[in-house]
Amino acid sequence: MPDTLAAGWHHFVINWNKAGGTKALYIDGNLAAEAQGISLPTAIGPVVQLGRFTYGGAQAGVLFDELSIYRRSLKAEEIAQLASGNLFEASARALNTRSIRLDTNAIDAEGGIVTVQLGRDGSFEDPQPYYDTYRWQLPDEERSYELAVRYFDRAGNSATITQSVDLRLAPRATVALEPGGPLAVTVAITATDSHQPIEIQLSPRPDFIGANWQPLQERFFWMATPGSRQRLYVRLRDGEGMVGEAIQVMWPGSEIYLPLIRRSRD
C-alpha cells in the first residue's frame, strides 16, 4: 500500500489467522490492507525482528514505542479499541515460587545501558550495574504484584518496563500430635492459603496411591498400634489446584520401663 501517513506516532496491527488463511494490516485502528487464502508460516523461530525485512536487510528507520503479541487473532472492534488507547486489562502471569529471574536484555543507541533499578508496586530499589539477568525474591504473600525494571543510559535518559504477576503458592501446613489415649492420637493441622477451599489427602504410602481428596479436617483421630512406628503422609491442595509437599508424620510410639530384678543365691 502507498505510504500516505503523516509524521508522528501511528498504531500498527498485523493480524494473522492460520485457520482461515488470512492476513490483515490495520493502521490507527482502520483496515489498510488484507490478503485471503494464503499459507502462513508454521515455524517462525525464536527471534522476532522488528524494523527490517530479513537478516541482513536495511533497517526501516522507525522507532517502536511498545509491542504486544497475542495468542489469537483479534477482532476489528478489539483492534479499534487498542488504537484508541483503551488497552485490554493486563492478565497477570501466575508464579508458584517466590524466587524469580528477571531477564533484562536491552540496547541503547546513546552509548549503552549504564544502570538498572528494580521495582515492585511503584517502589524502586537503589540503582545497580546493568546485567542481562537478576535473581529476585518476592514477599511471602499470595497476591498480585507489579514488577518494574527501569533502565538508564549514559545521557540520563530512562525507560521503564512493567509486568503484573500473580503469586500463587502451594498450601503450607504444620502438623502436631496430641495424646488421645493408648491407641490413638489427635492430628492437628494448621493450614494457610489464599485460595479456598483447601482439601487434604491422607495415606500410609508416600506415593498416595488410592488416597482420595477430601475436605480439610483440622483435627482428626489417628488409630495405630503403639510401638509400631507407623507413618502417615499428609498433603494439601488449594482451590486453584496447587498441591503442597507431602508431610510425613511418625507415630509417637510408647515405651514401657520395667524394673530390673536380680536374685542372689545367698
Q: Of 208, 212, 219, 216, which Cα lies nearest the Cα of 248?
A: 208
Say how far apart CA 154 and CA 111 lie, in whole Å: 6
Q: Residue 68 pLDDT > 70, yes or no?
A: yes
Q: In the chain, pLDDT over 90 holds for what percent of residues?
A: 32
φ, ψ at 75 (rounded to 5°)? -80, 160
CB 190 within 8 A of CB 217: no
Q: Residue 121 pLDDT > 90, yes or no?
A: yes
Considering the domain architecture, whether residues 177 and 160 belong to the same structural domain is answered as: no
Q: What is the pLDDT of residues 194-213, one digit of tens each?
A: 888 999 999 988 999 999 99
Task: Write out the H or E segment, with its range, that includes residue 81.
Answer: helix 76-83
Is residue 262 included in any domain, yes or no? no
Is residue 261 included in any domain, yes or no? no
Q: Residue 105 pLDDT > 90, yes or no?
A: no
Considering the domain architecture, whether residues 18 and 38 belong to the same structural domain is answered as: yes
Q: What mean pLDDT value characterizes the chain?
A: 84
- Tell me the three state secondary structure of residue 27: strand
Considering the domain architecture, whether residues 176 and 243 belong to the same structural domain is answered as: yes
Residue 156 confidence class, pLDDT cut points 50, 70, 90 = confident
Residue 119 confidence class, pLDDT cut points 50, 70, 90 = very high
CB 113 within 8 A of CB 130: yes
Residue 52 is classified by DSSP as: B
Neighbours of 171 (CB within 10 A): 23
Considering the domain architecture, whether residues 153 and 198 belong to the same structural domain is answered as: no
Considering the domain architecture, whether residues 25 and 61 belong to the same structural domain is answered as: yes
Q: Residue 91 pLDDT > 60, yes or no?
A: no
Instruction: Name the residue range of residue 146's domain.
Output: 93-167
Q: Of 34, 32, 35, 41, which Cα lies nearest the Cα of 12?
A: 32
Q: End-to-end alpha-carbon separation of the chain, Å?
A: 122
DSSP notation for 121-169:
TTEE---EE--SEEEEE--SS-SEEEEEEEEEETTS-EEEEEEEEEE-P
Is residue 257 included in any domain, yes or no? no
The domain total for the chain is 3
Is residue 1 included in any domain, yes or no? no
Of 83, 101, 133, the residue at which a domain comes to its end is 83
Considering the domain architecture, whether residues 71 and 107 belong to the same structural domain is answered as: no
Residue 54 is classified by DSSP as: S
Q: What is the pLDDT of residues 57-66, one digit of tens each?
A: 777 778 888 8
Q: In the chain, pLDDT over 70 holds for what percent of residues?
A: 88
Residue 243 is classified by DSSP as: B
Q: What is the pLDDT of residues 4-54, one digit of tens each?
A: 888 888 999 999 888 888 999 999 999 999 999 888 777 777 777 777 777
Considering the domain architecture, whether residues 159 and 179 belong to the same structural domain is answered as: no
Of 31, 63, 83, the residue at which a domain comes to its end is 83
Considering the domain architecture, whether residues 197 and 180 belong to the same structural domain is answered as: yes
Of 37, 59, 83, the residue at which a domain comes to its end is 83
Is residue 192 included in any domain, yes or no? yes
Distances 137 to 98, 101, 102, 169, 176 between C-alpha atoms, Å: 6, 9, 10, 13, 30
Q: What is the pLDDT of residues 244-264, one digit of tens each?
A: 989 998 877 655 555 666 776
Considering the domain architecture, whether residues 143 and 100 belong to the same structural domain is answered as: yes
Is residue 6 included in any domain, yes or no? no
Residue 172 confidence class, pLDDT cut points 50, 70, 90 = confident
Is residue 224 included in any domain, yes or no? yes
DSSP notation for 90-129:
PPPEEES-SEEEEE-----TTS-EEEEEEEETTEE---EE
Considering the domain architecture, whether residues 136 and 99 belong to the same structural domain is answered as: yes
Considering the domain architecture, whether residues 242 and 224 belong to the same structural domain is answered as: yes
Report for 107-116, 119-128, 219-228, 229-238: range of highest mean pLDDT = 119-128
For residue 171, cis peptide bond before it (omega within 30 degrees of 0): no
Considering the domain architecture, whether residues 206 and 238 belong to the same structural domain is answered as: yes
CATH of the domain at 232: 2.60.40.10
CB 82 within 8 A of CB 106: no
Q: Residue 132 pLDDT > 70, yes or no?
A: yes
Is residue 225 included in any domain, yes or no? yes
Say how far apart CA 102 and CA 151 lie, in whole Å: 13
